[in-house]
Structure 1
């Protein structure tokens, strides 16, 4: 029995509609639901003011933004600080980290309020992974040579900070940023996360291609391993300061918000 042409056409149309409908449904699922809360987590050798250029961009989009002040004395203390900030949020929250802060949000990000994770040139170890051992699989980034210890706390030298940590900032701006540097507790060098929240939550990653603090290839490895939606910025380690608009746009994407 032969199908009549009108019937064939109708069947083809139904088939096309089904495929199109599935595709549109998949696209809708890929786009995150709009989120209004953002919690920002700084890394080592810095404080919450490192987000000062990103914060007003997010606030201008109507987002409620909190920048955590980590003590950087131990991983546990920093995770506790983030958990306190998350407890104050009134709904789903995008959790964002720079540098070492990536370890903090990988641990704290299992909180049910956290809708997604954004890593800005950040550490992203797996649960129980030895991060210093992971870094040794890649050429050593030069900033670490400038680490200066005093008892159980360390800071970057001014030269290492200006050249290797914040190398694409104007020198006067890098020196001002250096002035607010917080010491790092020795306990952080031995810390390991017990969970990897990026295995449970949608993740985003901004690689800094000119990074001299974390090797860019290590950043690419971590971003690929977590299956993160990834962008690359021609930046030093501090893209949140030298490329605040691009960093803010990635956070807005994770929050399901328009970027223009």
Structure 2
């Protein structure tokens, strides 16, 4: 089997640069690495977009990787575009069909599961969206204390400045059929994650039958401890016989 293409799907409040450390190492090992934009509009839009990207921009086997909400997207896109052979979840949602983000986080102890979301998020309208929808940005304090608390302060401020918002409707849209039911999966659990608590990540990963590893990091452990994510991706590559 030829070396698979590694496709890295970012999550909310991030962009492709969140994968820089992982992508650089994998490119150095001879892998083709692609990091498409995740539109952050809900799986009914984001899933087909990534499926279309896979179908048009890859050839041969693919290892599909998702961070945070990106895990929601790869769960919905993994069976519908390209030759996806394995899924890797990094501090990510691994939803079952019918679940949504807010449902998964409810009662989890997440820093985002609070009675008044405006204490942790800045919520603003956007043109062209459905009636009542809005975009959510992380407040600076949320980035510093709960999203990327293990990064240097200067890097945290860059996240505050460059974050891409996710719509509220994306967090209430139910997942479709789960690609992990037909594909082998791996999961990296950030043990200091305050957005998707470790126990919640582990429950979802175990339910999916994923091979689990741990990173002693925040919700962005692929930035603070990239080697754990790199190792999980390489394990997925080996696991599919590539």
Question: Structure 2 length as normaliser, TM-score?
Answer: 0.88
Q: Deviations over 1:66-88 (max 9, x none)?
A: 00111212322222331232111
User: Distance between the aligned counterparts of 1:140 and 1:238, measured in 2?
Assistant: 15
In the alignment, which of 181, 186, 195 is matched to residue 168 of structure 2? 186
Match of 2:31 in 1: 63
Match of 1:38 in 2: 6
Q: Deviations over 1:192-245 (max 9, x none)?
A: 111111111000000000011111110010111111000011100001100112
After TM superposition, give the deviation of residue 34 of structure 1 in Å: 6.1
After TM superposition, give the deviation of residue 60 of structure 1 in Å: 0.9
1:114 corresponds to 2:84? yes
Higher gyration radius (CA): 1
The DSSP-based 3-state class of the residue aligned with 1:149 is strand
1:177 corresponds to 2:147? no
In the alignment, which of 207, 217, 226 is matched to residue 235 of structure 1? 217
Is contact 1:69–1:81 with CA below 8 Å preserved after alignment?
no
User: Distance between the aligned counterparts of 2:149 and 2:48, measured in 1?
Assistant: 31
Match of 1:47 in 2: 15
Matches within 5 A, 1:1-260: 35-87=3-55, 88-111=57-80, 113-142=83-112, 145-151=119-125, 152-256=134-238
Is contact 1:47–1:69 with CA below 8 Å preserved after alignment?
yes
Q: Deviations over 1:101-136 (max 9, x none)?
A: 111000001135100000001001101124422322
User: Distance between the aligned counterparts of 1:182 and 1:57, measured in 2?
Assistant: 25
User: Distance between the aligned counterparts of 1:67 and 1:120, measured in 2?
Assistant: 14
Number of aligned residue pairs: give it. 225
User: Distance between the aligned counterparts of 1:230 and 1:220, measured in 2?
Assistant: 8
The DSSP-based 3-state class of the residue aligned with 1:115 is strand
After TM superposition, give the deviation of residue 142 of structure 1 in Å: 4.9
Question: Structure 1 length as normaliser, TM-score?
Answer: 0.82
Report the aligned-residue RMSD. Answer: 1.7
